[in-house]
Amino acid sequence: MRHRAYYYLCLLLVVLDQLTKQTVVSIFDLGESVIVNPYLSLTYVQNYGAGFSILASGTAIQKGFLLAVSITASCLIIFWIYKTLAIYRQRLFGQFFLLSGALGNLLDRVQYGYVIDFIDSHYGQYHWPVFNLADSFIFIGVALILFERRLPST
């Protein structure tokens, strides 16, 4: 299997995401929040939509659509990984972080019909939408891909 070590990284990240979500579910009641510091709280929410709770009304069609998008995105990322040469390490790290995040949230959608979120960052009265580790992995993956070091052209 090509890129075996990266798949192990992906598995580790997905397990870490799922463990943190299960820990939050077992400790917190839905909507419960604990302040960690002036900028961070742990708040258990269920996101029935996509990023920033887009399409969160929770109709069966919307749930099916979001599930289909998650599966399609994961398959496309895997295909992209397959086409990426091993010399592009930063791109591969980015792709596997992206895949880890997509799979972590996909597992939630399949298992519960929603995504478990719990990281609540805020400043004063302003709150960023609550997110999870999988969302962070997606952000890191996109950043690694976008800011990939390019070799000077000859």
What are the residue numbers of the active site? 117, 135
Contact 127, 52 (CB under 8 A): no
The contacts of residue 42 (CB under 8 Å, 6+ apart) are 24, 28, 33, 34, 36, 118, 119, 120
Burial 44-73 (b: 16+ CB within 10 A, else e): bbbbbbbeeeebeeeeeebbeebeeebeeb
Q: Which amino acid does the sequence have at 29? A: D
Partners of 131 in beta bridges? 119
